[in-house]
Structure 1
Amino acid sequence: MPVQLIAASASHRTFARDLTRRAMLPYYRQFDLLWVEEAFDQAWDWREQWLVVEAGQTLGFCSLSQDRQALFIRELHLLPAHRGQGVGSQVLETLADWTAQRRLPLLRLMVFQNNPARQLYERHGFVEVGEEGCFVRMQRVIA
Structure 2
Amino acid sequence: MAFHLRAATERDRLFARTLTHEAMIGYYRQYGLVWSDNGFDAAWAGRENLLICNDDAVMGFISVSRDSRALYIRELHLLETCRKQGAGGWVLEQMARKAQAQGLLRLTVFKTNPARRLYERHGLSIVGEEDCFWRMERECRAG
TM range (shorter): over 0.9
SS of residue paired to 2:25: helix
What percentage of residue pairs aligned between the two structures are identical?
51
Q: Distance between the aligned counterparts of 1:3 and 1:96, measured in 2?
A: 16
Q: Report what 2:88 is aligned to.
A: 88
The structural deviation recorded for 1:73 is 0.1
Q: Distance between the aligned counterparts of 1:73 and 1:128, measured in 2?
A: 14
1:127 alignment partner, one of 122, 125, 134 = 125
1:116 alignment partner, one of 114, 120, 127 = 114
- Give me the TM-score of the superposition, normalised by structure 2: 0.97
Q: Distance between the aligned counterparts of 1:142 and 1:99, measured in 2?
A: 6
The structural deviation recorded for 1:130 is 0.6
SS of residue paired to 1:115: coil
RMSD: 0.6
Q: Report what 1:142 is aligned to.
A: 140
My pick for the range that moved more, 89-98 or 17-26, is 89-98
Give the total of aligned pairs: 141
Q: Report what 1:63 is aligned to.
A: 63
Q: Structure 1: state its 5+ residue gaps.
A: none
> Runs in 1 of length 4+ with deviation above 6 angstroms?
none
User: Where in structure 2 are the equivalents of 1:1-143 lying within 5 Å?
Assistant: 1-100=1-100, 103-143=101-141
Q: Structure 2: state its 5+ residue gaps.
A: none
The structural deviation recorded for 1:3 is 1.1
SS of residue paired to 2:62: strand
Q: Distance between the aligned counterparts of 1:116 and 1:84, measured in 2?
A: 13
Aligned partner letter, 1:134: C
Aligned partner letter, 1:18: T
Q: Distance between the aligned counterparts of 1:33 and 1:16, measured in 2?
A: 19
Aligned partner letter, 1:123: R
The structural deviation recorded for 1:97 is 1.1
- Give me the TM-score of the superposition, normalised by structure 1: 0.97
SS of residue paired to 2:136: strand
The structural deviation recorded for 1:121 is 0.2
The structural deviation recorded for 1:85 is 1.5
